[in-house]
Every structure is written in structure tokens, then in C-alpha cells.
Amino acid sequence: MKALVDRDQTITLLRSWSGAEKPIIASYFYWINGSEMQRSQEGLLRCLLYDYLRQCPIAVANAFPDIWTTRVALVAGPHSQIHWKRKTLLESFTHLTTLDTGSAHLCVFIDGLDEYNGDHQDLIDTVQYMSRLKIKLCVASRPWNVFEKAFGNASKIYMQDLNAGDIQLYVKDKLINRPDFQIMRVASIEMDDIITEICEKSQGVFLWVFLVVRSMIAGLINQDQISLLRKRLHDFPSDLNDFFRQIFDSMDPIYRMKTSHMFQATLFAGHSLLTTLTHWYLDDSDDHPDAALTMKVERGDNAIIKERSEQMGVRINGRCKGLLEMRKTGQYTMRAATPTEQPWQEVDFLHRTVRDFFRTLDM
């Protein structure tokens, strides 16, 4: 959805509708771990209106005629607040779309309807109300029944139809090109059935495919029989959160506390990724709580840093079962135009959905 919003081609195609006037694009992305306001209808409507009026400020008075008149008359101070009501916000769209100007050509993109925090039917009613105005709408959600019933007859694209070819290419590249897979394929046509089943069960979710293929490769390395490879596929949860929970529950109890500390530290760090060296010191402080106060200041010896980082890498792989991963990092210097490789690695969650999983209430 973000790609559609950002592409210049979207504006070009919308001009066939808006004519000589440039169409206005407003967008909103629901996110399950957003704040209460971000997951509400008020947050949606306020953000869309802000997007619109930011691009067409001359229309502010038309959007809120009553508020505009009273506020200007009172010369409201900069810290005065307006308590917005859903009805007022929706009416503003009606005012804007009846303007006899090019600014009336509004195209709205809303992603993640399923992550709205409320009755989904109420959100559907709002979307359908906006669709009856002179507004073009493009919405996205998981294929839940409530959304299929509301929007199923409209023009639509299923993600699995859009990227089915790419998924097939990925699966074939990662599995069919392996010598061990080819040997088993000669012996049994069932290996081709496994490829087909992976693609069909993916529902267009690339991360799910990546994880299943990783499991298949582990089975091939272990020389699993076809029956075991099939079991790996059939036992793999269709929902990613169920898979993450399965991995979490399978972690060695002896590492549970230290693993929890790793996940919490990575969550707390956010986008400021911690390194394997930072995790080494955090891990060491579990056994020496006063280490930060008593540890001697050391010179940065690359050999020691590399040794500790590699040691921590082994610990992360062993304890976190792939939910955390390490990536090489580089650092620019005044003398070098290209980054020089550092003796440590950055540590982050396997995917954004893993971070979201650890932010859920039951975790």
C-alpha cells in the first residue's frame, strides 16, 4: 500500500479522473501496536484531513465552517483545544468534496483495516460513507469474513495472486537447485508436490515461505525422509504468531531468563540496534550485577572485541532459535569513502512481525 501511495505513477493514473487538476492523496496505516488514538476512527479521520488540508490549506474554512467562524471570532490562543467528534470529522469530508474546485479530487488509501481497535463494522460504515462521496478509496486488510462481505464485490487484488510467481521462483531457487533435493526428486515425484504445497499454503506471505523453506533445508541437511519433510510442512502453523509462540515455548528452560533479557533489550532499543558486543556486556552483567561500577576501563582491542562478539553470536543463535538475527555493520571514516567492516554485528528481530509478537499482551 505504501508503494502505491509513494509512486509517481499513481498520480499520473489518477489524472484521468481529476483532469487538469492535480489529485490529492491522503493515506493512513493502521498498526496493531500503535497507540489507542492511532488505532481509532478519530485518528484515521484526523490524519486523512490533515493530509488533505496540508496540500490544500485554502480549503480549511470550507472543511469546518462553523468552527472556523467561531474560532476566528474568539481569536483562539495557540494552546486552545478542539474536542473532535466523529460526526464533525465526517461532515468535513462532505464539505470538501462538494467544492467546485480541483481540490475536491481526493484519493484515500487505508491499510490494515483488521488492526483497527474497535468494532470492524463501525469502521466499514465509515469507509462506505466516504465511498458515497466524490472520493476514490483503496483499502487493504486480511481476508476476514467481515471485510469480504462488505467489500468482496468491489475491485480487489489478493496478495497471493499478485506475488505467486515470485514465491514460486524463490522456492524453486532455494530447494530445487540443491543437490540433496534433486537426488530425492529423482527417487520420488512427491518432492514436486511439496514445492506446490508450499506455494499454495503461503497465501502470499513471503515471511511464511522463508521460514518454511528454512525448515525444509534443515530437514534436507539432516537427511530427513520424504515423510518427515511432509510432516515439517503440515505441522508448520499457518499463522505466524502461532509459529513464533511455538518457537518461544520450545526454548531451553535453562536459558529462559537470559533469553528474555535479550528480547527485552532488543525491544527497548527500538531502531537504535544493539550490537553483539553490547549484548555480551548485558549478558555478563546478569552474573555480575555491579559490573558497570567495578569493571576496569579497557582499551578497544579488536581481537578481544571480535572474540566476545563471536561468542555472543553463538549464544544468540543457540538461545533465541532464529527469532533474533545478526547483520554485519560498517562504519564510515574521514579517510574512507566506503564503510569499514566492524568486529561486531548488529542484532535485530528476524522480522517486524516478531517485534510485534513480543509486544502483544499475552507476552
- CA separation for the pair 186, 181 (Å, rounded): 9
Task: Determine the Cα angle at 275 with ends 248 and 216, to 5°.
Answer: 40
- Record the pTM: 0.68
What does the pLDDT profile of the chain (363 residues) look like in tens digits? 889 999 999 999 999 988 888 889 999 999 877 888 999 999 999 999 999 999 988 888 888 877 776 665 555 555 556 777 888 888 888 888 877 655 578 999 999 999 999 999 999 999 999 999 888 999 999 888 999 999 988 888 888 788 889 999 999 999 999 999 999 999 888 999 999 999 988 888 889 999 999 999 999 999 999 999 999 999 999 888 889 998 899 999 999 999 999 999 999 887 778 899 999 989 888 777 776 677 776 776 788 888 999 999 999 999 998 899 998 875 433 344 445 567 889 999 988 889 888 887 566
Give which of 123, 129, 125 is closest to 141, Cα–Cα.
Answer: 123
Q: Where are the domains of the chain?
A: 2-156, 162-236, 253-358
Q: Give φ, ψ of 36 to 5 degrees.
A: -60, -40
Q: Give φ, ψ of 216 to 5 degrees.
A: -60, -40
- CA separation for the pair 357, 363 (Å, rounded): 8
